[in-house]
Structure 1
């Protein structure tokens, strides 16, 4: 069980053996552990083993009907949010869901206010692209408001002041097609140093990163990033097992900024998949959209995510194209020939790019 910043990532070991994880159980990525259980057309949302809500799930009609739940809308909202994520996971090709709440005017008003659904004539509709932009199910610090806009200067670059860096787990999401939970946590300089050191000295990684070296070099490298407000180093895990290292950056004050018209809240990223067991398309289909999802949720003003992979890294460019990134141009960094790629927020949520490519194509068909 991975812990940090008061959060715990749910792994499969915490789920009862009475049901198959992939078919009948859909856990929320973060604790307190809220789990949606499915038995035919009936959904039950439980928290800490206690029943919270029951619904009827008419998958063929794309309809969720509330049967029983808490009278307090503030308690009902997280349970309904968990149930809608589970319904989307079990029925990814559904264009939308109709949410039947019966005669519950206070709950209806609360859900409309918080964006879980929208009114369409006499019905209330759950749109996948809207649900996935609500941070509650995935962000450890979902209640944190965006930092007010205040411009500062760094090395002659004018940019918004950046928020204090998080600690511990920042994001978690259950991946139904893997039956695993992916999570991202802030890198711990000392605890994660041996892992970082081993990954950076992997010849396959060193060929692209050129950061192989001894422990002192890597300790200093991490320290520089942690002291830099525009950089956030993360460790990615599948079911608590570390598999990758990520660097997330604000583009406006990054080295990429001179090569395109960087927006105030554009973000970019670098990745090292350090464990061979987690290479391949099935894992890319989980960690890549989840990382993009985290960056879009972390600040709702982020409209674009950019990358600058080596122009010679053909496989990575193919993976990015399949994941919705557009190729903008090639350009020259001092250390490499790079390709500028870009993902729009509107495309990510509009085309449901949090899903594997095959499912996404079925949705559009």
Structure 2
């Protein structure tokens, strides 16, 4: 993702990405963060494509080893997730819902995944609504060094029940 650092920098420093807490980051700091993720054995980052163009970022991690160590009752088959949509010049209705649905389907495509775990900032009400729409249940707030997060968990069954009628999918790279 080093070659993608300028692109990611534009995304994570955009005002709509305030909850990524990188508003003041320069390109090198963003590159260093994604080099760190790429080198980590329990954390991965991917660019998702829409119509052949990079349009979102998805991160997958082991919440027992990254982000939530000691903060939640980790179980075998838990997978942590972050996602970020690229700032749009022209907003596309339903795009963000399609992205989270696609990312969740991708994570659950691995039969070893039993639950997806997220920890968005408690103030990020927009993502809480998206999480609820795809089946997440709120566990409660957890205090992390950088934020108070709203720990939420989604089982495969809850995801499938919440999204059975939705057919929004994008390619990921």
- The TM-score range, normalised by the shorter chain, is 0.7 to 0.9
Structure whose CA Rg is larger: 1
> Quick check: 1:307 aligned with 2:118?
yes
2:127 corresponds to: 316
Unaligned runs of 5+ in 2: 168-173
Aligned 8 A contact 2:80 2:117 in 1: yes
Could you say if the C-alpha distance between residues 333 and 353 of structure 1 is closer, same or farther in structure 2, counting changes exceeding 3 Å? same
Deviation at 1:353, TM superposition (A): 1.6
Deviation at 1:265, TM superposition (A): 2.3
1:268 corresponds to: 80
Cα RMSD (Å): 2.0
2:14 corresponds to: 202
TM-score (norm 1): 0.43
1:356 corresponds to: 166
> Quick check: 1:335 aligned with 2:149?
no
1:246 corresponds to: 58
Q: Distance in 1 between matches of 2:29 and 2:73?
A: 33
Aligned 8 A contact 1:235 1:245 in 2: yes
Could you say if the C-alpha distance between residues 247 and 354 of structure 1 is closer, same or farther in structure 2, counting changes exceeding 3 Å? farther
Q: Distance in 2 between matches of 1:297 and 1:251?
A: 18
Q: Distance in 2 between matches of 1:242 and 1:354?
A: 26
Q: Distance in 2 between matches of 1:316 and 1:198?
A: 20
Deviation at 1:284, TM superposition (A): 2.4
Deviation at 1:354, TM superposition (A): 5.2
Could you say if the C-alpha distance between residues 292 and 244 of structure 1 is closer, same or farther in structure 2, counting changes exceeding 3 Å? same
TM-score (norm 2): 0.86
SS of 2:151 mapped into structure 1: strand
> Larger RCO: Structure 1 or Structure 2 (Cα < 8 Å, ≥ 6 residues apart)?
2
SS of 1:287 mapped into structure 2: helix
Higher strand share: 1
SS of 2:163 mapped into structure 1: coil
Which of 219, 223, 238 is equivalent to 2:35?
A: 223
> Quick check: 1:286 aligned with 2:98?
yes
Deviation at 1:196, TM superposition (A): 0.8
Q: What does residue range 1-365 of structure 1 map to in structure 2 within 5 Å?
A: 188-190=1-3, 192-205=4-17, 207-211=18-22, 212-277=24-89, 282-298=94-110, 300-349=111-160, 351=161, 353=163, 355-356=165-166
Per-residue CA deviation, residues 239-269 of structure 1 (Å, 9 max, x unaligned), is 1121111211111212213122111221111
Aligned 8 A contact 1:329 1:339 in 2: yes
Q: Distance in 2 between matches of 1:343 and 1:303?
A: 9
